[in-house]
Structure 1
């Protein structure tokens, strides 16, 4: 039912280009989750032509350097085991982000790590207080890639 909701929301706001969804499709996280469910929902919302779906690990994205305008990650990074591996994922997200691009990382934990790594990569970044609109509460880390 909710498969691809952020991807579809991003695609609806595009005037050009594509919204790219990346996932490893773990059924233990969300039953029925998969590329076909996302495509079906995108079709229903009239944005199927504006999305691209990749099955990939965030630590090794099949995307060109500086090719993405905006990165949105929701409740993903905390699932990566090990601090160094999470740092690797954040660095990979920075790698694909264009200069002037924006990143938004929403998660239930480890957001201090994400903030520190974005700053270590030379990004201007900040972390929100707790948001209680979902359970467990989340924080949002936002950043801009000025020059890296």
Structure 2
């Protein structure tokens, strides 16, 4: 997920993405526009969802939680959610743990501002699987 934002990452957008993809020789991908709070995908679509420096751009605690809830909704059972961001990480972790996820958090001090990464897995019932 990314947010097309001129003030945050100047010059980003579909055209810049496609130019960068071609310059790197990366294969073509399907690119969708939508809000993190209302993703255009069916329930349980992905094995892995990654959000990198996105959710802090969403105003309001409820809307940020709604975005995390959407990431959870499109995640397959036993899938992994990875969220990296620069603030509100304890809010995201609490929300995920309250919704049946095991989480692990890592801190990075070589970014500015400092950032954290949460890896969250919803353990399928009865498996005893752990990420720790």
Q: TM tier, shorter chain?
A: 0.7 to 0.9
The structure whose residues are more often helix, as a share, is: 1
Find the aligned partners of 2:41 and 2:23 in 1 and give their Cα distance.
27
RMSD: 1.5
Q: Answer whether contact 1:77 1:86 (CA < 8 A) is retained.
A: yes
Partner of 1:70: 48
Partner of 1:48: 27
Scaled by the length of structure 1, the TM-score of the pair is: 0.78
Q: Which runs of 5+ in 2 are unaligned?
A: 126-132
Q: Answer whether contact 1:122 1:147 (CA < 8 A) is retained.
A: no
Partner of 2:120: 143
Q: Answer whether contact 2:37 2:70 (CA < 8 A) is retained.
A: yes
Find the aligned partners of 2:124 and 2:78 in 1 and give their Cα distance.
8
Partner of 1:85: 63
Partner of 2:101: 123
Find the aligned partners of 1:83 and 1:32 in 2 and give their Cα distance.
28
Partner of 1:26: 5
Q: Answer whether contact 1:100 1:146 (CA < 8 A) is retained.
A: yes
Q: Matched residue of 1:125: which SS?
A: strand
Work out which of the two has the higher radius of gyration on C-alpha atoms and give 1 or 2.
2
Q: Answer whether contact 1:94 1:145 (CA < 8 A) is retained.
A: no
Q: Matched residue of 2:31: which SS?
A: strand
Q: What does 1:1-16 correspond to in 2, within 5 Å?
A: none
Q: Which runs of 5+ in 1 are unaligned?
A: 1-21
